[in-house]
Amino acid sequence: MTLMKRYVLRLFMSLKYITANVVDRNNGSIVATASTVEHALKEAFECGRTCNAKAAAAVGEVLAMRLKVEGLEHGQGRGIHADVHKEIAKKGFKHQTKVWAIVNSLKNQGVKLILDDDNDSSTNDR
């Protein structure tokens, strides 16, 4: 039995910017986004040449607030799926603290996150 993953957390990181999106997989649209590219976050942290974990945590908090405004902090009962190990593997080990900062700030703000682990077969048998 497969688990339907309607809402998925996607992260994009460069040396200068961090962007977090929640994507609705049914129609491929982005339902909420937050980024250090935004004027308010850019001025608050003044990332300069690089962004750190503190900026990543702020991106997670802003994304959580936007999900609450949309009424999607629980992902319509199914939760929002995040494959942390896949994101770390894609971004590289040096971005690990930024990935976890975003995930932890979303959890602390009350967003229902479901952490996927492809290595564990028991999570796919729900």
Of all residues in the chain, what percent carry a pLDDT higher than 90?
Answer: 41
Share of the chain above pLDDT 70, in %: 87
Q: Which CATH architecture has domain 7-115?
A: 2-Layer Sandwich (3.30)
**Phi/psi of residue 29, nearest 5 degrees:** -100, 155
Domain boundaries, the chain: 7-115
Which of 38, 60, 43, 54 shows the shortest CA–CA distance to 108?
A: 60
Distance of CA 65 to the CA centre of its chain: 13
pLDDT tens-place string over residues 58-106: 999 999 999 999 888 877 777 899 998 888 888 777 788 999 999 999 9
Q: Give the global pTM.
A: 0.83
pLDDT at 122 over 60: no
Q: Where are the alpha helices (DSSP H) in 46-115?
A: 53-70, 84-91, 96-108
